[in-house]
Structure 1
């Protein structure tokens, strides 16, 4: 039976401590061995350089027509060959057992059966390099030696490059061509590459790689050119020329020609280590070109001392133009900023001011970017809004570069661009021998003189450091891999790069225990590192990207390939073209990840299928994004017109049947009648040229339209409420004031193109139509104005009616009306004049059509047609409403023009007021008869009370109705009505039973409207009005005057004792001995004396004669309604009903008797 180990014993603790110490010792030994190996390699490198400098042999250098007679060899190529030889020697020594091994057998690695045995002839004497290596480095096992050799070879993409992915047997000279932009460096590299039998060129951007690929295809044909980017592979079987992004270049390639563009990016914190690696190690058999800025010259001379350096001057001059507003930027300008939001904002502004702009950003797909650049290149737009992506070799037809920002976020901090970086962007201005300019916008302070001098002379501070990361990675363990990645360069001019996204993803993933368990051997660890190379296109967060990397690694580790269903779901997420610009840009970034994955060899079971799918999705998204960018930032009409104007071509214009004016097929405005209304967005610097082109067809159209109007029928014209005369819906004239209110004029609305006989024909025809229109709608007024049969007072009244557009207040002309005899009245009635109780008016003019015309005619002489109510007030005539609330912003006279009189807060139709007078007149004239017939509803003591018929007729009640009556000259009396014993008993009964007391009275007439707080307030006001009327007449009121305080006290008393509640009744009577004119302020009288209100002349004492109305007095000024002229005594002559006797058997009668007994006992 096996004895279990006691973990709690002290011996177990000691055993654990011993294991920990042993593991730590092994790790220390491994670190010492790795450090010794690094030192040996560095020593070998230094010795090789020293030996090359000593003998100065140049026999291995091949000469090229490009170079001079000083053919130089590449020192680093010799170092690589020496290191390979050294690795072969170490391998042979390890195989023959002559090399030392580790101390214990447990540290020895078994020989790998999958790697064939290789041996090299052993030299009889050790070379100095080998001797120094063996003296300084501990002995390595066979597995370590093979790993070093395998890392040095680094075959790269064997499937893409085939036999080219290998070390070249010989290396040609290195030539660095340095200089500013517009020196033709990239063009020269293309020419040199196609002159060789094979070649490869590395470019900094996928966009630029696509552009160069197209140019090489044009030179040699598509079957000989391959394209390699992280997201795109085009590899013909017979390809000899390879166009790549720098990251996609293999570690080694056996081609005749190698070129690396924009080598100054080796100093970039994020991507610099990749450029540095290609600069130091990638060579062509015959020729190697390094292209970039002159700031790289010192570093290249130091790191590559045998390289030949050629400086190329700029072909054109670059001049600083200072600060310019965006609205004043010259044509063919690019505005550069470093924020996507700023790019969008500036593009919107340029669109409004210049008609549109193209947008170029590094995050755009090549398809979208090329479509946007094409808009700029072919002249559809004159401005380009871009990030610093245009500084990376993109060839654009630019004349001016304007900086809208000088600071950017480089991934670590917001910093100002260096002079060299500014020059890289500003140098895009001016192509070939055409000079260019640069400057700033109003958002950026002007550049300093020193900076301007540097940019114009292209003299900058040299780059002092290149970013470097070890390429010889150790996949034996995670710690070995991290240690090899963090190795320092150990050479002046190189600095260890900051952790890139692949290293960040690796460190985050290895915290996961499942990842640690899976990446437990070199093969899987290398797979994990390969997956970490997937770029973070989405830029969401490092943890989010690491999570995606982990999923990819787990699927590849489990299945060997990615799941089809899972990958299809990820692609489907991005396969949508709805949404805005930002949404589409996010989806493009998402699909770029899967495009990169689809182009990885061995990750998918059918890579060609997935490459086609991802490419199709990216193309759809790119087209949709280009459409959104164009729609948002480019006015297509303006861009087409501007292009034709720059070509100095004759613009073709036409007018559609609907009046749209088209120039070159683009809508530039609308022809409305005889006026051309240009589109707002068509206005600008070139608006005159557009208008000139449009005028060619407008003049012909004006002649045609004038002939049509001259022969048009009357029903083709329409005078709208805004005073515009329209023909076929288009305004052609405007109503203006004439010599008199009945004679307005029409002014033709036309551009300068309508002149001469055409203008006269139009004016004559519309004048004829206007005269006919006024005669048709306002025939009674027209006839009154020219009536010859009227004379005397009748003619004067007719003149006043015409001036007041058919409505007169009768009280204002009461004297003239009394003076009219029956013949004069009859003559006026022949013209439709009606003599009402309150107004003299012409009823036919109250209809909607005449009212609309009258409103415009009145407004032309009183403030114009733009005042409030011109459109709303004429609609009252057709609304059918008898009264409406008054809008204080509308003049009262405007209401009167359409037949509505303003009384307080309401406007009432004057014909409805006459019908109200017809209801009131019988109530005032009723007298008791001998047959004791019942009086009509509303009769009260030779006055009247408001009835339901009255309020229904006017559509209002309460204080509004009272205000109308006061304005018409009636006065109010409020009379208290005593409750009968029966009513008091009923009220007490209701109070005892909890019901509300009834307000009905059997022996008093009441108004039809129920009492409300608002009505009580109106009653108080009526009391004050009645008091004022009484004092004006010099007599006391015949009713009891009640103040506000008294009314409030009575209300409180009524609340306390329902049995003692008092009732009030409102009685309306005609005005006193003097007629009062209506007061628009609610009927209140002014505090100052008024002779008319006090009586005054006898002519104004009574109501109108013979025409009805309030009959408050006779011709002699006597008041028939007050024959007794009593003062201070209530007048109650209405017959009273006999009091009802209470039932003696009722409980209320018993209560009343008990109360009487109590009163007697007191």
Structure 2
């Protein structure tokens, strides 16, 4: 045992003092040298640096798993375990000598410190805590303390997602490392991963990923504390406890300082701290780490070098020998001694290990590292197999080895699977590099190295794919470099920055791709915004110069340019002039934004003025005066439709000139409505509905947009939906009438069919279809046809319009028709007289149904009743009564209480004044002005007292109920409230003139 320090120099100090660099410079100054390093990864790094200095032919690399030994090599780079026991080299250096106190590997470092010397110079490199023990064990040693080149500061506690760039996060389990790396990938674009279990090639690739700046974060175990030279600005501890192979324990200040010291390189200061999962360091610990004052190493781990191979028992006893020198302590059983203990209990091993040579061979086999981290018994089984082959056949059975290597030669699977295969192949790489263990070592060295490299590359790829977002990392790197990003935009709006798909550009809004959040999303958006600045300017210029055909207004109030939303409409003070709100990112500013806004406002105003031209022209009419101007204003406010009953007084007061001036603007005075037929087309109706919905928050109300398709399909009536907002029916051009809604222009055609039936007088002209007695009428085929309704629907519609029904029995109706038959039979074959209402062109042109092509409903019911009397109808079937309709006074039962709140126009309710639809032949020939002037002025046609008393009552007629006494059911009439007081008859009305004519005839 050498216990002298003469010729030995200890270079001690904290991290970042340049100790390793100093050793390399000293070694190349000698003719030969050997340097031992704690990690294969670090050995690779030093080997590369030496090759750059003296060339590859002069440098050898020797580790347990790899040997590069040029014939003329002068310098050797080794792991400490692979250093020769004796050497003739002029220079020897041992790095990280403080590991001599490590419970697992310490005895190997102690052996090299005490026994290995260079002929000319020996350097021991390590922490300052080794000075007292080295001076004690090696008297005369020269100690050089090197100060740290930069300062280390404590930064306190920070969340992982708020750590600065160029940070290393330290944890002590693979699961925790992976979890942190996944979190950083989502939040910051990605992280490199360094674990002790990774192969050197994989660790080198991950470190290269970090060093090149592709990622800004490194997540690692305490492996980074062992001499890895990294450009780390901040070290954050995500854990402060670790499993040391025997128990879980807190890291001591020296271990924390060794890891924290990785922050700051050369003259650049560094910081350290903890994450949110670790309690902040106390002031004393912080001061010790910042000043590098740690507990001195008091003892070194030691194991006897003088081993007795005469027997297994003697070998085990020699391993248990205690040191005799103060400052050394017997090491705990390492992996090799644990394997020897297990194998000593195997009978087959005891039978084979009978000579010193075989015992020594067994001890050599026990040095096989446990890369797989399996149980000691399983590891001992593998060593037993290898030792048996070495003894029986002189080398490891290559068939067995080929089978084991083949199992590992697969690159599929995820991170854990590939890590397990790498550990397995590293075992066989170690076997192939042991001298004398294989018959063809070169073949197996090349094969296992190739497989390990391939697995390492696959593992690096999986780690990168899982923990690095390449798109974000590249963008962040380019942003740090302050470089102009190259952006491309596809025809469908996909945005590519530096070749990476970063999101979608629709109009003037950029949407990052899904799955990004936090600072990651901000980085992507920042990159895209910086690159798309010119694109926004160009788009603004193109929109400003585009035609109206490139712009459209959607039913949701959005304004689209070439199909992409660029703005939306919002309510304003005037319903015909909505506000335009741009949908754009902040990049659209200045003149470009003003030009876009002005162009869209100009388009909206033009679109409304074009589609709603009749309404727009009416709002600007200057030739209307007095009541006509007021009525036009109301019509504009109600978007083109008014119920005539709501403005009856104003209409009555209009003279013919005023009416003619309003007709020139496309206004029609109908029996039920004052409206503009041009606005009943789908496009105007849709725009009117949208404008009302914007003003009244109706875009989300039920029924919005559902009635326009019916209008576009040419439907004259639709079945109503009670859940719909009733106003939408009126805005779409329909009148809500109970179970059905009818288009308003069709209702005016219905009035044209009803009017001549009420004006007909028995004995004057042939009876038109549907006429009954001059005061009442029945529904006709033509009425059902134009409304697309059933008889039941027709009953609902007429009641909704204010008509009242008298129910009579079929016998009574037949008798009445029979009494009129002689007078009407002669005229039935005659052609309709010119100007007769049944020959009305509006009614016949669409339906092509004449009054003489089908029997009337009354006649059909009479025939049906006759068949029933003849026994063709069962007794249980009661003939349906015939409904005779007449104008009513007051709203119908199904309308009472139906006025929706806020509808001042009272849609679907109120008294319907009949006879207002006669067209003025002198001013356009419109029948809507013709009618009973008595009704238009608020009066009622002449009726008997019983009719007036029955007006307005909506109850089931008595003749629909079977008389219990068997008597013939009598037809019941609808009863009403007492009639209103009759107004004086207008002397200018047709009824007044007709009454005067009758009086003259009587005289």
TM-score (norm 1): 0.60
Aligned to 1:407: 241
Q: 1:1124 to 1:729 in 2, by over 3 A?
A: closer
- CA, structure 1 residues 483+878, in 2 after alignment: closer, same or farther (shift >3 Å)? farther
Partner of 2:911: 1100
In structure 1, C-alpha distance between the alignment counterparts of 2:344 and 2:430, rounded to whole Å: 23
Distance 1:530 1:291 in 2: 29
SS in 1 for 2:153: strand
Find the aligned partners of 1:473 and 1:639 in 2 and give their Cα distance. 59
Instruction: Tell me the CA shift for residue 421 of structure 1.
Output: 0.7
Match of 2:611 in 1: 777
Counterparts of 2:69 and 2:199 in 1: how far apart (Å)? 20
**Which residue of structure 2 aligns with residue 337 of structure 1?**
171
| Deviation string, structure 1 residues 341-379 (Cα, Å, up to 9, x no partner) | 444454455556655544433333333433433344344
Deviations 1:938-994 (A, max 9, x none): xxx9999xxxx99x9799x99xx99999988899999xxxxxxxxxxxxxxxxxxxx
Measure, in 1, the Cα distance between the counterparts of 2:230 and 2:452.
26
Q: Name the structure 1 match of 2:462.
A: 625
Report Cα offsets for 1:27-62 as digits up to 9, x if no partner.
xxxxxxxxxxxxxxxxxx7xxxxxxxxxxxxxxxxx
Q: Does residue 75 of structure 1 match 2:3? A: yes
Q: 1:252-302, CA deviations, whole angstroms, 9 ceiling, x for partnerless residues?
A: 444333322112222223333333333333333443322211222333334
Alpha carbons 1:594, 1:614 under 8 Å: kept: no
The 1:625–1:808 alpha-carbon spacing in structure 2 relative to 1, beyond 3 Å, is same
- Work out the CA distance in 2 between the residues paired with 1:953 and 1:773: 34
| Shift, 1:424, TM fit | 0.6
| Contact residue 886 and residue 902 of structure 1 kept, 8 A | no
1:1131 corresponds in structure 2 to: 958
Match of 1:316 in 2: 150
Q: TM-score, normalised by structure 2?
A: 0.68
Match of 1:566 in 2: 403
Post-superposition shift, 1:593?
Answer: 3.9
- Closer, same or farther in 2 for the Cα pair 1:180/1:855, shift >3 Å? same
Number of aligned positions between the proteins: 856
Unaligned runs of 5+ in 1: 1-44, 46-73, 77-170, 930-934, 936-940, 975-1060, 1087-1091, 1140-1162
- Are the aligned partners of 2:575 and 2:691 in contact in 1 as well (CA < 8 Å)? yes
Partner secondary structure for residue 201 of structure 1: strand
Number of the residue aligned with 2:75? 241
Secondary structure of 1:320's aligned partner: strand
Contact 1:968 1:1078 in 2 (8 A): no
User: Aligned pair 1:638/2:495, yes or no?
Assistant: no
| Deviations 1:667-691, CA, capped at 9 Å, x for gaps | 8887765677889878899999969
* Residue number among 430, 435, 447 corresponding to 2:269 in the alignment: 435
Mapped partners of 2:446, 2:661: distance in 1: 101
CA contact (8 A) 1:637 1:667 kept: no
Distance 2:185 2:307 in 1: 52
2:226 to 392, 396, 399: 392
**Corresponding residue number in structure 2 for 1:1156:** none
Which residue is equivalent to 1:179?
13
Task: Return the alpha-carbon distance in structure 2 between the equivalents of residues 201 and 795 of structure 1.
Answer: 106
Q: Distance in 2 between matches of 1:1070 and 1:522?
A: 131
2:300 is aligned, of 466, 484, 488, to 466
Deviation at 1:418, TM superposition (A): 0.8
Q: Tell me, in whole angstroms, the C-alpha distance in 1 between the residues paired with 2:580 and 2:247.
A: 70
Alpha-carbon spacing, 1:748–1:325, altered in 2? closer, same or farther (3 Å): closer
Contact 2:304 2:321 in 1 (8 A): yes
Structure 2 residue matching 1:288: 3-state secondary structure: strand
Distance 1:410 1:1079 in 2: 88
Question: Closer, same or farther in 2 for the Cα pair 1:330/1:912, shift >3 Å?
Answer: same
| Offset, 1:218 | 1.2
Q: Shift of residue 909 of structure 1?
A: 7.3
Aligned to 1:1036: none
Aligned ranges 1:274-313 → 2 under 5 Å? 274-305=108-139, 307-313=141-147
Change (3 A) 1:782 1:451: same
Q: Counterparts of 2:108 and 2:720 in 1: how far apart (Å)?
A: 82
Change (3 A) 1:755 1:413: closer
8 A contact 1:362–1:389 mirrored in 2: yes
C-alpha distance in 1, partners of 2:283/2:85?
44
Whole-Å separation in 2 of the counterparts to 1:891 and 1:327: 51
Give the Cα–Cα distance (whole angstroms) in 1 for the partners of residues 722 and 382 of structure 2: 69
Helix, strand or coil at the partner of 1:1132: helix
Query: What is the alpha-carbon distance in structure 2 between the residues aligned to residue 477 and residue 541 of structure 1?
Result: 26
Q: Matched residues in 2 for 1:504 and 1:877: separation?
A: 91
Q: Mark the CA change 1:627 to 1:459 in structure 2 (over 3 Å): closer, same or farther.
A: closer
8 Å CA contact retained: 1:972, 1:1067: no
Deviation at 1:774, TM superposition (A): 2.3
Pick the aligned partner of 2:891 from 1051, 1075, 1096.
1075
Instruction: Measure, in 1, the Cα distance between the counterparts of 2:730 and 2:913.
Output: 25
Per-residue CA deviations over 1:624-654 (Å, capped at 9, x if unaligned) read 1353256348723432233313xxxx64666
Q: Does the C-alpha gap of structure 1 residues 376 and 757 become closer, same or farther in structure 2, counting only changes over 3 Å?
A: closer
Equivalent-residue separation in structure 2 for 1:1125 and 1:724 (angstroms): 48
1:714 maps onto 2:548 in alignment: yes
Query: Residue 148 of structure 2 aligns to a residue in which SS?
Result: coil
Alignment of 1:601-612 (within 5 A): 601=435, 602-603=437-438, 605=440, 606-612=443-449
Change (3 A) 1:597 1:915: farther
Contact 2:171 2:238 in 1 (8 A): yes
Contact 2:409/2:451 (8 A) holds in 1? no
1:272 maps to 2:100: no
What are the residue-to-residue correspondences of 1:569-718 with 2, within 5 Å?
569-573=406-410, 575-576=411-412, 579=414, 581-582=415-416, 584-601=418-435, 602-603=437-438, 605=440, 606-625=443-462, 627-628=464-465, 631-632=468-469, 635-645=472-482, 651=484, 697=534, 702=537, 708-718=542-552
Equivalents in 2 of 1:877, 1:592: separation in Å? 79
Tell me, what secondary structure is at the counterpart of 2:468? helix
**CA, structure 1 residues 339+964, in 2 after alignment: closer, same or farther (shift >3 Å)?**
farther
Query: What does the per-residue CA deviation read over 1:301-346, in whole Å, with 9 as the maximum and x for residues that have no partner?
Result: 3444454443333233333343445565455433333344444454
Could you report, residue by residue, the CA deviation over 1:1127-1157 in whole angstroms, capped at 9, with x for unpaired residues?
Answer: 9997236899xx9xxxxxxxxxxxxxxxxxx
Residues 599, 611 of structure 1: 8 Å contact kept: no
Aligned equivalents of 1:555 and 1:727: distance in 2? 80
Determine helix, strand or coil for the equivalent of 1:563: helix
Contact 1:744 1:857 in 2 (8 A): yes
CA distance in 1, matches of 2:740, 2:97: 87
Alignment partners' CA distance in 2, 1:428 and 1:274: 25
**Per-residue deviation at 1:607?**
1.5
Query: 2 CA distance for matches of 1:467 and 1:496?
Result: 6
- Shift of the 616–340 alpha-carbon distance from structure 1 to 2, 3 Å rule, reads closer
- Tell me how far apart the structure 2 counterparts of residues 529 and 963 of structure 1 sit (CA, whole Å): 107
CA distance in 2, matches of 1:967, 1:518: 113
Equivalent residue in structure 2 for 1:255, among 85, 89, 96: 89
SS of residue matched to 1:75: coil
Matched, 1:421 2:255: yes
Equivalent residue of 1:210, what SS? helix
- Assess if the C-alpha contact under 8 Å between 2:401 and 2:428 holds in 1: no
Q: Which residue of 2 aligns with 1:1048?
A: none
C-alpha distance in 2, partners of 1:833/1:215? 96
- Structure-1 separation of matches of 2:80 and 2:940: 116
Where does structure 2 lack aligned partners over 5 or more consecutive residues? 763-769, 771-775, 808-875, 918-927, 967-1003
